[in-house]
């Protein structure tokens, strides 16, 4: 809820969810914000209402959180978060949750993020990318593409993310529910036809291991976000989900010397198996990626509000 003096209040304990930032060596990409906008959001929520991650976690475990109490969360182990957002948190004395996927610390170039960077920086704007991408998918799918497009209802797909345009939703639907593994060669073909430098992009996308250790040593809380960041975790067999999260947990322990106790669900995808295996791994607290209603919300399903929604509310006030 937003009042006239641009103060955001929540009806129940809610995390603030952040992904991409621009500033310094980090270019503006779709959905990114700068340090000033980050500070504006924190101010609108009220710094007095933002608990440091360790405090928020303990109060959640003890069932002592108040409705207006919130916390800062970052997903995806992005370097821009460390270089643009963390200095603001340092000024305010706030420690955050950092949910990281760990394949990138083995030298793997995680394609989901690399492809996102490509579509945000190698075209005039993201709509130019969508136009080229949709054309290529239609060429490959033929009449099936036309049929799916006619049947697609954007109002029912990702309804808790109002900041997504029709093209954003259609793209994510094709990527996550139609193309599967065929998504990757399509984007690779587009990259090959461009002047996009994969290695240069990879150098500025992700945190380094020493920075993760630094965050943990400074009192920030490092949590699970899977090892390779599947976009449809909840559709994977139990054993594959367990492998994802066990590898993730083991790598975080090697990086920080601390056992992960928290998780955020990649792309908001999980099922009953996910919750059960995370509990087996000792995870006590978890976050969704939206504020949608859950019939019976458990301790691994705390809601989060995306920064895009928060910024939109502030700008509309």
Judge whether 114 lies within some domain: no
Model pLDDT, residue 47:
95
Judge whether 200 lies within some domain: no
- Cα–Cα distance for residue pair 35/57, rounded to 1 Å: 25
Classified as helix, coil or strand, 270 is coil
92 with 211, same domain: the answer is yes
Low-confidence stretches of the chain (pLDDT < 50) are 1-5
Number of domains in the chain: 2
Q: Could you tell me if 81 and 74 are in contact, meaning their C-beta atoms sit under 8 angstroms apart? A: yes
32 with 78, same domain: the answer is yes
| Domain edge (last residue) among 135, 164, 194 | 194
Q: Could you tell me if 25 and 204 are in contact, meaning their C-beta atoms sit under 8 angstroms apart? A: yes
Judge whether 35 lies within some domain: yes
Is this model's pTM higher than 0.75 or not? yes
18 with 152, same domain: the answer is no
Model pLDDT, residue 160:
78
| Domain edge (last residue) among 133, 159, 194 | 194
Q: What is the CA radius of gyration of the chain?
A: 19
| Domain edge (last residue) among 194, 223, 243 | 194
- The domain containing residue 274 runs over which residues? 14-109+205-316
2 sits in the region (left: phi over 0; alpha: psi -120 to 50; else beta) called beta
The angle that helices 126-141 and 183-192 make with each other, rounded to 10 degrees, is 120
Q: Could you tell me if 228 and 103 are in contact, meaning their C-beta atoms sit under 8 angstroms apart? A: yes
Judge whether 170 lies within some domain: yes
133 with 273, same domain: the answer is no
Residue 277 host element (H or E): helix 272-280
97 with 62, same domain: the answer is yes
63 with 33, same domain: the answer is yes
Model pLDDT, residue 6:
55
20 with 88, same domain: the answer is yes
24 with 80, same domain: the answer is yes
- Cα–Cα distance for residue pair 115/123, rounded to 1 Å: 12
């Amino acid at each position: 809820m937003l009042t006239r003096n641009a103060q955001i209040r929540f009806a129940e304990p809610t995390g603030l969810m952040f992904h991409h930032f621009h500033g310094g060596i980090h270019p503006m990409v779709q959905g990114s914000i700068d340090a000033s906008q980050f500070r504006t959001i924190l101010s609108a929520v009220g710094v007095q209402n933002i608990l440091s991650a360790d405090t928020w976690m303990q109060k959640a475990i003890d069932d002592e959180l108040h409705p207006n109490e919130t916390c800062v969360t970052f997903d995806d182990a992005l370097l821009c978060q460390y270089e643009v957002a963390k200095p603001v948190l340092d000024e305010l004395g706030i420690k955050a949750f950092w949910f990281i996927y760990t394949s990138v610390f083995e030298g793997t170039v995680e394609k989901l993020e690399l492809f996102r960077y490509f579509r945000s920086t190698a075209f005039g704007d993201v709509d130019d990318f969508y136009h080229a991408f949709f054309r290529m998918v239609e060429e490959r799918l033929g009449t099936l593409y036309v049929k799916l497009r006619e049947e697609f209802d954007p109002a029912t797909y990702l309804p808790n993310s109002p900041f997504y345009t029709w093209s954003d939703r259609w793209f994510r639907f094709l990527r996550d529910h139609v193309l599967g593994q065929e998504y990757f060669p399509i984007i690779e073909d587009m990259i090959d036809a461009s002047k996009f430098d994969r290695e240069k992009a990879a150098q500025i996308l992700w945190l380094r291991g020493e920075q993760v250790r630094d965050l943990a040593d400074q009192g920030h809380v490092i949590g699970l976000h899977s090892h390779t960041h599947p976009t449809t975790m909840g559709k994977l067999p139990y054993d594959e989900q367990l492998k994802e999260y066990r590898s993730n947990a083991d790598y975080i322990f090697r990086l920080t010397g601390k056992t992960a106790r928290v998780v955020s669900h990649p792309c908001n995808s999980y099922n009953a198996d996910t919750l059960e295996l995370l509990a087996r791994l000792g995870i006590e607290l978890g976050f969704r990626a939206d504020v949608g209603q859950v019939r019976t919300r458990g301790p691994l399903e705390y809601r989060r509000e995306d920064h895009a929604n928060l910024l939109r509310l502030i700008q509309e006030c």
